Amino acid sequence: MTENKNEKRMVFPGDSIGSVEEYLPGDNVAEESGKLIALRVGDILEDPRDLRVSVKTSKKVMKPSPGDIVYGQIIKGDSGRYIVAIGAFRSSRSGELLETKLESTLKIESRRDERFPPVRVGDYIRGKLFLSRYGMDLSISGPNLGVLLAKCQRCRQELVLENGTLKCKNCDLTEQRKIASDYGKIDLNGKEF
């Protein structure tokens, strides 16, 4: 581990900080093939009493509030209710794009004349948080909100937008979604949404 227990040692995501024989993984640390790996940038914090090692980050993890625009992926869905894994949000206070890790619910009111679901599991979306009686829920109503990237149900290739319809260039399947006005302009590495 560290040479001098009083000396701070900064680590970066992916850095090896020890082994499971020495310590158990604590906050911001994961075990991978018997090694302890840092998940965030920060200083190593050893707890000899509980035999745990953590990474203490200097930055507070920000959480979105009602009215913030969020970016995430549909991970589960059934009967007009979808679970969205949110990875980033644009704060309505600062306008800055911030990383986060939480889940929210997207509820779609069903309409009889609507034959196609507005989202599907696996879609990347932009939504707006609002406060409901169940907590913070998500809405995709609005021209800048909706699906940013979708994949074909048949062959899992990325769908492209052609004349208002999503089309697979690989198998020619066409699909419909509630798409955002800037569909397709997304960087999945988290740099720009």
69-175 CATH pick, 3.40.50.850, 2.40.50.140, 3.40.50.2020, 3.10.28.10: 2.40.50.140
- Would 10-56 and 69-175 be classified into the same CATH topology? yes
Class of domain 10-56: mainly beta
Residue corresponding to tokens 């009215």: 67
CA distance 130 to 137: 6
Is pTM beyond 0.75? Reply is no
Query: Can you read off the two tokens belonging to residue 12?
Result: 């970066």
User: Domain extents for the chain?
Assistant: 10-56, 69-175
Query: What is the C-alpha end-to-end distance of the chain, expressed in Å?
Result: 38
- Starting from the edge strand earliest in sequence, which strands make up the sheet with 42-47, in order? 10-11, 42-47, 52-56, 24-25
Whether residue 13 is predicted with pLDDT greater than 80 in this model: the reply is no
Chain segment 81-140, per-residue pLDDT in tens: 899 998 888 877 777 777 788 889 898 765 544 567 889 999 999 999 988 877 788 999
